[in-house]
Amino acid sequence: MLLVVDVGNTDIVFGFYEDQTWKAVLRTPTHQPWSANGVVNWIKKEWASKDLGDTLPSLALISSVVPSISPQIQRGLALWLGYSPTLMRPKLYETLAIQVIVPEEIGSDLVANAVYAHENYKSNVLIVDFGTALTFTLVNAEGKMEGVSIAPGLKTAVKSLFSQTAQLPEVPLEMPQFNLGTDTVSAIQAGILWGYVGMVKEMISRVKEDKKGDLKVVATGGLSSILTPLASYFDEVNKLITLEGLRLIAERLKA
């Protein structure tokens, strides 16, 4: 069994993979008072609740974009597993089948996305990741990451509007029925959600133009299914792309 961990700005996701399937995908909020013992207690409880058996993962890989939490997660998993998990670092990127740009700066989750895209398509691929940030990552047919674009994510935009205004409420992320709202909630939904539909369409259009139409587009992230008008723009929508990329990297390490 493999264990891959995606430490994001909103959630930490633990994926357990065995026999060509995800045995369990566990999720918990990132920002809480983690300690090594706290990680052990949480993972043991979740492991037992999913009835995953007695044999622990033989290899573990961690991707983290939250450096302040990474040591606690790594130490906690080491206590549970009996060995220290591998942490995604620039040195590791040198062993991958893709070429990573600015290894010291790029998020390891975006690297994992690019690995998945290149492994599965072997063509120009734009990965749109709807997370805490909305990211666009382009990897070409040769496996080179050509560039990244980053914007605030949907939840981040809603929270920012709510926190910075006196009378606007925090609203649910649901596509509105009409282009313009008729009350405060639907007006915010129309502005943000239709605005993001336009942003994603424009970015896809620009990158497709750069690649002279030779482009696959895949979407991932927990919010990837909310913007339903974009469905026809994606060749694949898969919320587990980051985990799948980490799995491919972990299997390469194991080999």
- The catalytic site residues sit at 109
**Residue with tokens 């009378």, as numbered in its chain:** 167
User: What backbone phi and psi angles, to 5 degrees, belong to 72?
Assistant: -65, -40
Q: Is 24 helix (H, G, I), strand (E, B) or coil?
A: strand
Read off the DSSP letter of residue 183. Answer: S
C-alpha distances (whole Å) from 212 to each of 3, 36, 203, 233 are: 39, 50, 14, 16
C-alpha to C-alpha distance for 109 and 219, rounded to whole angstroms: 14
Please list the residues that pair with 13 across neighbouring strands.
6, 27
Q: Is 33 helix (H, G, I), strand (E, B) or coil?
A: coil
Closest CA to 88 of 108, 58, 105, 112: 108
